[in-house]
Amino acid sequence: MKPIGAKRDYPRKVQEDTRRYAEHQAELVAKLEVLVASLDEERGQLEAEVQSLRAAVLSRESERSRLSVQMAEIVEENKRLSGEYVQVEEQSSSLANLYVASFRIHGSLDREEVLTAIQEIVISIIGCEEQAIFALDEAAGKLTQISSFGLEEDRLVSVPLGSGVIGRTAATGEAYIKDDHPDEGPTDPEEAGLTACIPLKVDDKVTGVIALFTFLAHKPGLADVDRELFELLETQAATALYCADLHANAARSSK
Amino acid sequence: MSKKKILVVDDSRTSLFLEQTILRKGSYQVVTALDGEEGVRKAHSENPDLVLMDVVMPKMDGFQALRKLRQDPATQNIPVIMVTTRGEGSNVETGFSDGCNDYVTKPVDALELLTKIKSCLHEA
């Protein structure tokens, strides 16, 4: 049995414990409130940071889009300039071909040398290893072969003026290019494989013909420069041969 | 920097002149030979950085000249580009089996030729 004094102290003790408990709870609440305030502050800071990062991402994305557009423009410009460079190179190459052809044709007054130069131009610059050069004998009404390469010896030794594509080219003075006349190919078996026929002209008067047959297998087709070379041969080759003949006659006369 | 020297071997004066014109535009020094024999001689005397060799030539053709160059320790490492009118397999195979580094076909395309030369000379 508890003493009477202890019975009396019990409520006081409970009261005291409750008070201490309440104080402790109040301290905890105060601490939690400080913590919540601090967390709120931190959250605010983080939210501001997130917002700033979002703005930075948006800015970077916009910068990236701008750079992508710029890059596409640069790629396009690069492509255009590359195309122009290739075009300039092709023009330069064509001019070199024409220069070399002209230089070679007029590089000698020896008829054989001029004929060799014409043959080499047709082989090395145009790309045709089957060819024949004819001189026109107006009085006899025929073309006589004066040089050939890659053809059988007895093929097209003489061609009547106006006969076949070669004879017609001499008669009309109009160049024949197979690509331009796909339906008007040669019918004479001797002219089989004829790809182009170029009249040789001095002052618009036909003096002969160059006949070009099968082109080299790897040549994809006639290029613009080939047509320019045909035009060059048409007048320059004829003039060079004419000059060579005049020179030979003059040399003979002076002896 | 001194210009690289290229020996062009071709019996066609037109081809020689055309190739010379192209190579001079590419800033190369050019020496020439008119047949395989002269080409082999000049490869020794001129010590070129590269040889451009035609295939069909009098006296000694391009393949024979190439084999001579490859057999000689003084010239065996000189890059050789064959210039041929025939682009078909057998001709090209012969060139490569004889030790050529590359080949171009006639009519010579200036851009292609300069690109192949730069590649052989490790200038690309």
- In B, minimum Cα distance to A92 occurs at B110
Q: Which residue in chain B is spatially nearest to A91 when comparing CA positions?
A: B110
Q: If we measure between CA atoms, which residue out of B29, B42, B49, B103 comes closest to residue B68?
A: B42
Give dist(CA A241, CA A70) in Å, integer: 59
- The β-bridge partners of A137 are A142
Q: How confident is the model at residue B87 (pLDDT cuts 50, 70, 90)?
A: low
Report whether pLDDT(A255) > 80.
no
Bond preceding residue B107 cis, omega within 30 of 0: yes
pLDDT band per the 50, 70, 90 thresholds, residue A89: confident
More confident residue, A7 or A173: A173
Q: Which residue has the tokens 């790809």?
A: A195
Read off the pLDDT of residues A25-59 as tens digits, 9 standing for 90 and up: 999 999 999 999 999 999 999 999 999 999 999 99
Q: What angle do CA A129, A131, A136 make, to 5 degrees?
A: 165
Contact at CB, B17 and A100, closer than 8 angstroms:
yes
A230: closest CA among A131, A159, A143?
A131
pLDDT band at A1 (very low <50, low <70, confident <90, very high): low
Asked if pLDDT for residue A153 goes beyond 90, the answer is no
Q: How far is CA A122 from CA A213, A238, A242, B61, in A?
A: 11, 15, 19, 21
Measured between CA atoms, how close is A154 to chain B, in angstroms? 24
Query: Could you read off the pLDDT of A94-103 as tens digits, one per residue?
Result: 999 999 999 9
Distance from CA of B72 to the nearest CA of A (A): 31
Predicted ipTM?
0.87
Q: Which of A38-52, A80-94, A218-232, B85-99 has the highest mean pLDDT?
A: A38-52
Query: What whole-number distance in Å separates Cα of residue B26 and Cα of residue A114?
Result: 29
